[in-house]
Amino acid sequence: MDRNDMDQHGARWRTEEVLATCRRVSSAQLTVWVERHWLRPRHEGTGFVFSAADMARLELICDLREDLALDDEAMPVVLSLLDTVYGLRRRLRVLAEAIGDLPPEARYLLQDELRKREEKEE
């Protein structure tokens, strides 16, 4: 991909490129998945532009359908749960970075408090 295929959002694929890259999905399926908001590409001109994250999600949807035989009713539930997990992972990464930036004394106090709370829950 050359620089003309890149923008501030990273790599981009047009619908035709998506279909050529991921042969497990048909044009009709891709359209339905976009309409159902399972994929959220950007609308540009007369078509869609898919990001690297969209492409990864497309592969995930194909895997879930093929490997786990998820149907159209289960898919939004599973995708929502996965979105929640990924969102929590992002928040935990930010929290860990913030904790890492604290002075050592504050980190030790926090570790001690966390250990106390975990012991209460056991």
Outline where 22-103 has alpha helix (H). Answer: 27-35, 52-67, 75-100
Backbone phi, psi, residue 13, to 5°? -130, 135
CATH number of 9-69: 1.10.1660.10
Report the pLDDT averaged over residues 15-27: 90
pLDDT tens track for 22-65: 889 999 999 999 999 999 999 988 889 999 999 999 999 999 99
What per-residue confidence (pLDDT) applies to 9? Answer: 52
36 secondary structure, DSSP code:
T
In the predicted structure, residue 82 carries a pLDDT above the cut 50: yes
Q: What is the pTM of this model?
A: 0.72
pLDDT over 90, % of the chain:
78
